Structure 1
Amino acid sequence: MKILAFILLLLIALMQYPLWFGKASWRKVWQVDQDVIAARENNLILQNRNNMLEAEVNDLKQGLEAIEERARNDLGMTKQDEILFQIVKSTQSKISNISQSTQH
């Protein structure tokens, strides 16, 4: 009877080996599952970026307003017969205030 119990215990241990240490062990399955979750999150981020880029490309292809906005903001361009007023803060008053405070 002891030999039969030992043989059954040995068979159970042999059946458990692939579960714990084989190619499809629970640790490897868990790791692959974590990799899949990380890849899905990365895909969502990349999909959002792609959607924004696609919308910008479509806007640039179809809408003249987007091209005009880019030209104005990025390149400083103006329309024909348009006058641009640029307000620049004076740094001269700051320099004079600093020089006066250092002289006292």
Structure 2
Amino acid sequence: MKHKWIAVILITLLIGLQVRLWFGKNSISDYNSMQEQIAQLRQQNANLEQRNALLKADIEDLELGIDSMEERARNELGLIKEGETFYRILPKE
């Protein structure tokens, strides 16, 4: 009789632990969802690191001096120096 109660208690504890493992707080499903969130955050971090690297390169180019600013003004704003002739070559259609 004593052995039956011990077996019942142990089985009840095992079932309780299994329920908590599969359905409770910090369960396996919580773990899997956290792993997905971690993967998404790592991807976002990689994208932000790439953007930061590009911004850092732009800052370094601007710090180099007038040559980089002049090049940027020519490419982005179409500025021309005095005495220069501007030619625009259009592709044939």
TM-score tier (shorter): 0.7 to 0.9
CA distance in 2, matches of 1:31, 1:20: 13
Counterpart Cα distance in 2 of 1:48 and 1:34: 21
Answering whether residue 47 of structure 2 is matched by residue 45 of structure 1, we say yes
Select the structure with the greater relative contact order (CA < 8 A; seq sep ≥ 6).
Answer: 2
Q: 1:48 to 1:87 in 2, by over 3 A?
A: closer
Where do 5+ consecutive residues of structure 2 fail to align? none
Q: What is the number of equivalent residue pairs in this alignment? A: 91
Give the alignment of 1:16-35 within 5 angstroms: 16-35=18-37
Deviations 1:9-46 (A, max 9, x none): 11211122221122110110111111011101110011
Query: C-alpha root-mean-square deviation of aligned residues, in Å?
Result: 2.2
Deviation at 1:74, TM superposition (A): 1.9
Give the deviation of 1:72 after TM superposition. Answer: 1.2
Give percent identity, aligned residues only.
37
The structure with the largest alpha-carbon Rg is 1
C-alpha spacing 1:84/1:48, structure 2 compared with 1 (3 Å): same
User: C-alpha displacement at 1:73, in angstroms?
Assistant: 1.8
How far residue 3 of structure 1 moved from its aligned partner, in angstroms, is: 4.4
Quote the Cα distance in structure 2 between the aligned partners of 1:44 and 1:3. 57
The residue that corresponds to 1:80 in the other structure is 82
